[in-house]
Amino acid sequence: MSPNRNGGNAPKVAQWGTKVIHWGFGNGCPFREGGEKLVSNPRQDLVLDALDEVSRVVDRNLARLKLVRRRIARIREQRLTGMNYSQIVQQSERPLVIELITTNLSELQRSGHTLRRAVSLALYEEGLTMEQIAELFGVSRQRVSELLCPERGGGGGGGGLAPRP
């Protein structure tokens, strides 16, 4: 047994699995049934993997945003020539501006959630408490708990971090 964050004894920390991080027995939580903390494979880095994905998303978003700017300029030209919006939309190429923006937001939300979860897990694994992580992220301890154990909290499916009330 080793001291835990609350000064008591915690089960021995053990390596488990060979992939990036195996958190629990398929339930997405960094603890085994008896409270034993699982640690990541030291040869992998979930935060760097998540940052790489955020970078790829940013590149795709930038390409879409350039297209959005061109489409906005075209819509402005069409509107100034007297076209109504139904005509403009019917003549517009797909995806529409609103679809491009929605795709950008969805991809950022998804990759951002993956990054938040990876950083939360890394910080927790390095010894920060849920309260300390919550303070850093500006959210509640319960939200951090959901990031660490999404199956327990019922909310880890990709939503953003809600600001602390």
pLDDT tens sequence across 3-32: 444 444 333 233 323 323 333 334 456 554
Encoded amino acid at 121, one letter: L
Cα 13 to chain centroid, rounded:
26
* CA dist 141 → 104, 126, 145 (Å): 29, 17, 6
Residues forming a β-bridge with 39: 15
CA dist., res. 163 & res. 137, Å (int):
8
- Return the biggest CA–CA distance within the chain: 76
Q: Are 28 and 156 in contact, with CB atoms under 8 Å apart?
A: yes
d(CA 160, CA 110): 9
Rounded distance between C-alpha atoms, residue 84 and residue 87, angstroms: 5
Task: Name the pTM for this structure.
Answer: 0.67
Distances in whole angstroms, Cα of residue 122 to Cα of each of 41, 86, 104, 143: 12, 50, 27, 16
Distance CA 58, CA 47 (A): 16
> Rounded distance, CA 106 to CA 111, Å?
9
One-letter amino acid of 104: N
pLDDT at 44: 77
Q: pLDDT digit string (tens) for 96-126?
A: 999 999 999 999 999 999 999 999 999 999 9
- Quote the pLDDT of residue 111: 97
Reported confidence tier of residue 150, pLDDT bands at 50, 70, 90 = confident
Alpha helices in 6-162 (DSSP H): 46-80, 85-91, 97-125, 130-137, 141-148, 150-153
